[in-house]
Amino acid sequence: MSADDLKRQAAARALELVEPRMRLGLGTGSTAKHFVELLGERVRAGLEVTCVATSEATQAQALAAGIAMTTLDAMPELDLTVDGADELDGELRLIKGGGGALLREKIVAAASGRMVVIADDSKRVATLGRFPLPIEVVPFGLGATRLAIARVAAAAGCHGPLDLRRSGDTPFVTDGGHVILDASFGRIPDPPALASTLAGVPGVVEHGLFIGLATAAVLAGASGLIEMGKL
């Protein structure tokens, strides 16, 4: 079975959690894309839900699928968000932002009563950090912000290059107009400590550590689905 088949299986399991009239957050990435596709099929068959997207890409996909979309301004509380992840550990702590959507994803997850992660089981790690941690920063003062991040990260036991993400010949720009530093730490010994110290660096808009946000996960692997937390 391909990784894409596994992602779809995880998405299909999460779809079972959706009930009529729910307020949903829709994630971003190749796994969340399956969820939006499957949700669209249910909506076209008569299911009523209202959704908020975590990126312009997901917004466009959802609208094309016929899903009713709104904003967190009109609907500031959501019942359930279903989203992918780049890594998750045994405590449902995540690294997100491989697709650059971490800021909106975190805002939407924080506005949701539940956040369910869907992924293939290759995303499960013992210690976060193998996947480079995306850190969204404002372009102004990038050099100074990068140095400050390196210093606070070292104090939290994290060392490694902070690479400006590129899209071809130019820096990758997020939906919010910011840029991303991908931090190749290898391992993050204390994710909550790093998360809080990064949040205090001027110029850092958000980082891809999601701590205490995911309430459950569905991981699809060759031997079936593994569920973590309370679905």
Ligand X SMILES: O=C[C@H](O)[C@H](O)[C@H](O)COP(=O)(O)O
Q: Is 191 a binder of ligand X (CB under 6 A)?
A: no
Q: How far apart are CA 38 and CA 176, in angstroms?
A: 27
Residues touching ligand X: how many (CB under 6 A)? 18
161-190 residues in contact with ligand X (CB under 6 A) are none
**Annotation marks residue 105 as catalytic:** yes
Distance from C-alpha of 101 to C-alpha of 225, rounded to nearest angstrom: 26
The answer to whether 30 contacts ligand X (rule: CB under 6 A) is: yes
- Please identify the residue of the shown chain whose CB is closest to the bound ligand X: 29
197 touches ligand X (CB under 6 A) = no
Q: How far is CA 65 from the centre of its chain?
A: 21
Residue 9 or 28 having the CB closest to ligand X = 28
Residues within window 88-107 making contact with ligand X, judged by CB under 6 A: 96-102, 105
Q: By CB under 6 A, is residue 25 in contact with ligand X? A: no
> CB-wise, 85 or 158, nearer to ligand X?
85
SS3 assignment, position 192: helix
Residues 6+ apart with CB under 8 A from 143: none
Instruction: Tell me how far apart the alpha carbons of residues 177 and 95 are, in angstroms, rounded to a whole number.
Output: 21
224 is in an annotated binding site: no
**Residue 99 labelled as part of a binding site:** yes
For residues 224 and 46, what is the distance between their CA atoms, to the nearest angstrom?
Answer: 30
Nearest to 118 by CA among 210, 16, 202, 220: 220
- At 24, give phi and psi (nearest 5°): -115, 145
β partners of residue 39 = none
From the list 105, 136, 206, 227, the catalytic residue is 105
* Residue 182 marked as a ligand binder: no
Q: Which is nearer to ligand X, 25 or 29 (CB)?
A: 29
Known binding residue 129? Answer is no
Residue 136 makes contact with ligand X by CB under 6 A = no
The burial class, CB within 10 Å (0-12 / 13-18 / 19+), for 42 is: middle
Nearer to ligand X, 25 or 98 (CB): 98
Are the C-beta atoms of residues 79 and 114 closer than 8 Å to each other?
A: yes
Residue numbers belonging to the annotated binding site for substrate:
28-31, 83-86, 96-99, 123
Active site residues: 105
Residue numbers belonging to the annotated binding site:
28-31, 83-86, 96-99, 123
| Contact positions vs ligand X (CB under 6 A) | 27-32, 83-86, 96-102, 105
